[in-house]
Every structure is written in C-alpha cells, then in structure tokens.
C-alpha cells in the first residue's frame, strides 16, 4: 500500500494494543514502525538496475521470517533505555511485533506481491484485492487516528476499535467483490476454451467496484473489465498478441528470468526497435503498463542483455484515466467489443 496508508494504519494498530496512558506515544511509534519495512527503497535506490529495484523491493524487510528478529532487537534496545517500553515490556513487545508484521500482510493484498517468507524460494504472494492507493481503505484508519489523538481515553479506545473493524471490513468487501468478478470471469473464459488458463483479477485505480481480469493464452493474453456496480450479463474479453518466440529465445537472460518469476508469468513481450521489451501485465492496462523494461537487444540470431536494463515510462494522463474509470464504474458499455 501507499506510504500514507501505512502511517495511519500502523499508528492505529499500535495504539489499540498499547497500555492505557501510552496511546499518543503508540500512535507515533506505530507510524514509524509501519513505515520501517519500506526503507528498503533507500539502499535499492543506489542500484542502477531497475529490474533489481523492482524485484528486490518487499523482500527481506517484508519477510515474516526476518521481522520477528527486528522486533526483538528494537524492543530490547528501547527496553534498555527505560521509559514506556521498560514500564510495560510485554505489551510493548506485542506492539512492536504486530505493527511490523502487519505491514507486509497488508502489502500482500495488492497485486505487486510481497515476499512474506523470504529467503525461501517462493514467488511474491499477491492477493490483488486492493489497489495500491485506495482512499476508502485509508479513511477509517485516518479518522480513527485523529479521534484517538484528541479524544479522551474511552472515546479514543472506541475509535481505534471501530477504525480497525471498518478497515478489516473493507478488506473483507474487497474479497467479496473479487470473488464475484472471478466467478463471472471463470464462466466467460470457460466458454472461450480458456478454463485452465493462468489468470488474475485486480481492482482498477482507487476503488474496488471496477475490476480488470487478464488470462494468458498460447499466443498472448485476453483482458476484460467488470463493474460490480453496473455490469450484467456475460463478461467480455479482448485478445492481444505477445511475442512468444522472442521470449523463448531470451529466456536464459537474467532480467527475463527475474521478471518472469516476479510477475508470475503475466508478462507482455514486444520487440521495439530491435530491443526486447517486457511489461508486467498486472499493473496498468492496454496499451500502457507501469513497469515496462527493455532488457535485451537483437544481435544476429540471438539476444544480448542490456546492462543494465532500461525502464520505460508509461504514457499516461491520470486525470482522463480516472474520469474514464469513474464513468465505467457506473455505466456498462452498450455492447462491449471483444471475445466471449
């Protein structure tokens, strides 16, 4: 999730666990603790390889196999310094541990994915039920934080509990919406002969009402959209090609292997001006994707890796994009062109 959500989400969780009288300190501590895992972007920014920066983010600092040791080290350091942690060491250890561990758990609900069990050789876990920025998910945590900061003890405690309940409830709703969309997508894809095709569904930006579904095919992929607020009838898909041959020829290049592992194989392959360009299909939609990389150049009959790979910037105007998304949430096209 975005950094602002993590700030208030972490503050509310920490304050809900902290001892009485420690609420404001816990709100601030929770903001810092829930931000800590994302500080991996600082050392990664020193790397000139954009593929490494993409695939190594949300790894060691987001691992449930690492964070308990970080929590213990922080707890021990603050306990030796005295103060609130020394006054209630048991409760504050739980505050630190749960607040740290909750950061990657929330990230795992996005499509980017999180390496929750690094260093085990597992692909990033991607629940893909929340967009990375979702104002409605942020709202209960933000309001609960503000009320808990200013209100008296009893009202503050109730605000924290209600904020957590509403935030978790919104997560639950996102899974309900995702299930409804997946059910319609399964029916439509089965009718197209793609019942066993690898697929994913993900909400469009800033909401959980409009969803995008992508399924891989032998020669490319299909993309469809579903609004849980407006759409009725069968879901429709539009097909797009990908350069399967070029991908097979370049499969031994390190950046190709790394990206295919990271994006679970949901990848568009193009040859543009003699360069092999790979795009992560999970983030963006046709024809522009947020994470596209030129990774190799054609030389003779083979591919030579670009050192380092080059990130390509998407050509997107976010104002019109959001306007189109908002309109599509509430209006089903009269007859969507595409495959059914």
Whether 161 contacts 168, CB under 8 Å: no
Give the pLDDT score at 338: 47
Give the pLDDT score at 213: 98
CA terminus-to-terminus distance, the chain? 34
Q: Is the peptide bond before 119 cis (omega within 30 degrees of 0)?
A: yes
Q: Is the peptide bond before 327 cis (omega within 30 degrees of 0)?
A: no
Give the pLDDT score at 336: 54
Q: Where are the domains of the chain?
A: 3-174, 192-318
Tens digits of residue pLDDT in 238-297? 999 999 999 999 999 999 999 999 999 999 999 999 999 999 999 999 988 999 999 999
Which ranges of the chain have pLDDT less than 50?
337-340
Cα(153)–Cα(325) distance, integer angstroms: 42
* pTM > 0.85: yes
Q: pLDDT over 70 for what percent of the chain? A: 98
Give the pLDDT score at 335: 67
C-alpha atoms less than 13 angstroms from C-alpha of 190 in its C-beta half-sphere: 7
Taking residue 177's Cβ as centre, other Cβ atoms within 10 Å add up to 22
């Amino acid at each position: 999730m975005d950094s602002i959500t993590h700030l208030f989400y972490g503050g509310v969780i920490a304050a809900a666990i902290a001892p009485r009288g420690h609420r404001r300190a816990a709100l601030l501590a929770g903001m810092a603790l829930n931000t800590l895992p994302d500080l991996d972007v600082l050392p990664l920014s020193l790397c000139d390889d954009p593929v490494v920066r993409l695939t190594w983010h949300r790894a060691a600092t987001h691992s449930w196999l690492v964070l308990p040791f970080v929590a213990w080290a922080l707890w021990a350091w603050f306990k030796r310094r005295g103060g609130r942690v020394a006054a209630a060491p048991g409760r504050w250890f739980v505050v630190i541990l749960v607040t740290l561990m909750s950061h990657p758990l929330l990230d795992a609900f996005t499509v980017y994915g999180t390496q929750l069990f690094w260093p085990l050789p597992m692909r990033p876990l991607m629940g893909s039920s929340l967009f990375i920025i979702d104002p409605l998910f942020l709202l209960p945590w933000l309001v609960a934080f503000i009320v808990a900061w200013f209100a008296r003890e009893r009202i503050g405690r109730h605000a924290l509990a209600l904020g957590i309940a509403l935030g978790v409830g919104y997560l639950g709703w996102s899974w309900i919406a995702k299930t409804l969309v997946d059910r319609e997508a399964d029916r439509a894809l089965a009718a197209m002969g793609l019942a066993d095709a690898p697929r994913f569904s993900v909400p469009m930006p800033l909401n959980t009402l409009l969803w995008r579904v992508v399924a891989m095919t032998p020669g490319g992929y299909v993309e469809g959209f579903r609004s849980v607020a407006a759409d009725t009838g069968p879901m429709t898909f539009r097909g797009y090609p990908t350069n399967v041959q070029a991908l097979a020829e370049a499969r031994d290049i390190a950046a190709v292997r790394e990206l295919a592992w990271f994006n679970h194989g949901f990848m568009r392959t193009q040859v543009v001006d003699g360069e092999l360009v790979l795009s992560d299909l999970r983030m963006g939609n046709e024809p522009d994707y947020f994470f596209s990389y030129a990774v190799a150049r054609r030389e003779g009959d083979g591919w030579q890796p670009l050192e380092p790979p080059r990130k390509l910037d998407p050509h997107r105007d976010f104002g019109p994009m959001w306007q189109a998304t908002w309109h599509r949430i509430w209006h089903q096209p009269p007859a969507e062109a595409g495959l059914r």
